């Protein structure tokens, strides 16, 4: 009886395989090769991807990309579906052990993610030396709908890496485990995400020189949660700007950034506008200011950070509602004729529990600072620890501190 039962099960399996629709490999996925993709880096595989994605939408199945290099000559679009590669290795920092989408056009994005689309386990490659339009190139990945997911993806030599499309609202975006190599301008630009989005373990690594933009650029994001982001040799590590698109849904950023660090960037965090952000446990090693704030109602809290800059104040506050810096270390690689903290105008400035190494002045408080609390800090330099130029009506507590 057991033999007959086993035979019966095998017959059912064989019959099921024989009845699979065209374009499927195991009934659960659509294989782009079964729809005509070659994957040799030379043949144009765009039509095959379009067929596979159309079939995937029709049958509600993910589209699978096996190992190879697939040349695309126009944008491919995902909508309420998943395009996934075959994972053949770990974190793709030094090689590309996954299928590669070779983008061979510069007049449209490489991949468009419409509503509820996922891009997984793939590399997106622009050939080194690609000539982008002078007025700006399209992104490797364009976010054009709600709920996009991108994970375990490498993007190399794009104009922009991952960008919100004008007029789009990519709320609840999930971006994780992404390595972006030498974008010409921005690595990631997320805006008009009107609900909680999460960014985790993303590196923007400009190993061939400074980018012209930001590693991470944000417009309006509601309660955005960022962790383990890293910008190397970008013009700006993290930039917070008003939305470029003036249409509905514009506004400011509020959220938290933990272990979101910069290295060898010209500027670290740049806040332009009335954004609200909390930055914790981050290493900011920059050529110029590591935190540059200019927003009348801006609110920034910095906690537990290592801050090293050389060519400017480490923290420069032109305008802000409130700035708080706690339990952080300030240092320089060599002597500089700038204070570590320079505040021109601020509703409330709090600096507490910080260590200021030698080679620079400590804190300079301008006449536009209305309230200041600078206490329980250690100033190791023989230069002035606190320079107070606040107005006579300003409120201040400037001791106790340890100096010398």
Q: Which residue has the higher pLDDT, 249 or 138?
A: 138
The two tokens of residue 295 are 């927003």
DSSP 33: G
Q: Considering the domain boundaries, does residue 324 fall inside one?
A: yes
How much of the chain is in helix, strand and coil states, percent to nearest 5?
10, 45, 45
**Paired tokens of 83:** 């395009």
What average pLDDT score do residues 314-322 get? 98
- C-alpha pair distances (Å), 304 with each of 260, 282, 335, 355: 12, 7, 23, 11
Domain assignment present for residue 19? The answer is no
Q: Please give the tally of structural domains in the chain.
A: 1
Average pLDDT over residues 89-93: 76
CA dist 84 to 81, 94, 123, 150, Å?
Answer: 10, 20, 10, 10
Q: To the nearest 10°, the Cα dihedral for 238, 244, 247, 253?
A: 20
pLDDT at 245 over 50: yes
Residue 15: the pLDDT is: 32
Count CB neighbours of 13 within 10 A: 9
- Beta-strand relationship, 63-65 and 261-265: unpaired
The values of phi and psi at residue 3, to 5°, are -65, -40
As a whole number of angstroms, the distance between CA 84 and CA 344 comes to 51
The reported pLDDT for the residue numbered 48 is 98
Of residues 315, 285, 313, the one with CA closest to residue 300: 315
Question: CB of 162 within 8 A of CB of 139?
Answer: yes
* Residues forming beta bridges with residue 77, ordered by sequence position: 112
**Cα torsion for 299, 305, 309, 314, to the nearest 10°?**
30
| Mean pLDDT confidence for 171-184 | 96
Cα diameter, the chain: 98
Residue whose C-alpha is closest to residue 116's, from 62, 75, 46, 64: 62
Any domain includes 236: yes
Structure confidence by residue, pLDDT tens digits, 266-305:
999 999 999 999 999 999 999 999 999 999 999 999 999 9
- Report residue 248's pLDDT band, with 50, 70 and 90 as the boundaries: low
pLDDT at 127 over 90: yes
Residue 146's CATH number: 2.160.20.10
Residues forming beta bridges with residue 403, ordered by sequence position: 379
C-alpha 23/C-alpha 7 separation (Å) is 28
Supply the DSSP symbol for 193.
B
DSSP codes, 250-308? ---EEEEEES-EEEEESEEEEEESS-EEEEES-EEEESS-SEEEE-TT-EEEEES-EEE
Tell me the pLDDT tens digit for each residue of 46-70: 999 999 999 999 999 999 999 999 9
Asked, for residue 208, whether it belongs to a domain, the answer is yes
Examine residue 11 and state whether it is found in any structural domain, yes or no.
no
What residue numbers bound the domain in which 121 lies? Answer: 35-403
pLDDT of residue 246: 59
Residues 6+ apart with CB under 8 A from 64: 25, 29, 30, 31, 32, 84, 85, 86
What integer pLDDT is reported at residue 134 of this predicted model?
80
Inside any domain, residue 214: yes
Residue 364's pLDDT is 98
User: Is residue 5 situated within a structural domain?
Assistant: no
Residue 22, domain member (yes or no): no
Query: Could you identify the residue written with the tokens 């789009």?
Result: 168
Query: Which tops the pLDDT comparison, 1 or 282?
Result: 282
Q: How much is the pTM?
A: 0.92
Q: How many whole angstroms separate alpha carbon 109 and alpha carbon 168?
A: 14
- Are the C-beta atoms of 161 and 180 separated by less than 8 Å? yes
DSSP label of 165:
P
Task: Name the percent of the chain lying above pLDDT 70.
Answer: 92
Bridge partners of 52, per DSSP, are none
Q: Tokens at residue 225, please?
A: 């949660």
């Amino acid at each position: 009886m057991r033999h007959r039962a086993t035979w019966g099960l095998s017959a059912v399996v064989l019959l099921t395989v024989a009845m699979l629709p065209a374009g499927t490999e195991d009934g659960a996925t659509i294989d782009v090769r079964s729809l005509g993709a070659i994957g040799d880096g030379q043949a144009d595989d765009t039509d095959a991807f379009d067929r596979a994605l159309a079939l995937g939408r029709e049958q509600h199945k993910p589209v699978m990309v096996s190992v190879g290099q697939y040349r695309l000559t126009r944008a491919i679009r995902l909508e309420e579906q998943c395009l996934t590669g075959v994972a053949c290795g770990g974190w793709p920092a030094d090689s590309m052990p996954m299928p590669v989408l070779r983008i061979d056009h510069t007049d449209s994005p490489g991949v468009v993610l419409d509503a509820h689309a996922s891009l997984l386990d793939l590399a997106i490659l622009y050939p080194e030396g690609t000539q982008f339009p002078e007025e700006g190139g399209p992104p490797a990945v364009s976010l054009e709908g709600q709920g996009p997911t991108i994970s375990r993806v490498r993007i190399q030599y794009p104009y922009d890496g991952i960008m919100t499309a004008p007029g789009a609202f990519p709320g609840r975006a999930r971006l994780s485990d992404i390595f972006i190599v030498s974008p010409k301008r921005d690595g990631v630009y997320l805006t008009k995400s009107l609900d909680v989005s999460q960014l985790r373990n993303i590196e923007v690594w400009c190993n061939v020189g400074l980018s012209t933009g930001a590693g991470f650029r944000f417009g309006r994001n509601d309660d955005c949660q960022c962790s383990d982001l890293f910008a190397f040799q970008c013009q700006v590590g993290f930039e917070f700007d008003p939305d470029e698109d003036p249409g509905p849904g514009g506004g400011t950023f509020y959220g938290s950034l933990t272990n979101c660090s910069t290295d060898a960037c010209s500027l670290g965090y740049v806040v332009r506008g009335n954004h609200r952000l909390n930055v914790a446990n981050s290493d900011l090693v920059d050529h110029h200011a590591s935190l540059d704030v200019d927003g009348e109602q801006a609110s920034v809290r910095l906690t537990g950070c290592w801050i090293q800059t050389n060519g400017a104040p480490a923290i420069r506050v032109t305008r802000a509602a409130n700035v708080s810096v706690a339990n952080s270390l300030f240092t320089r690689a060599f002597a500089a004729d700038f204070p570590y903290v320079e505040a021109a105008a601020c509703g409330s400035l709090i600096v507490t529990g910080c260590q200021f190494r030698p080679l620079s002045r400590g804190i300079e408080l301008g006449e536009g600072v209305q309230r200041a609390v600078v206490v329980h800090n250690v100033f190791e330099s023989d230069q002035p620890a606190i320079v107070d130029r606040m107005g006579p009506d300003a409120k201040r507590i400037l001791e106790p501190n340890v100096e010398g």
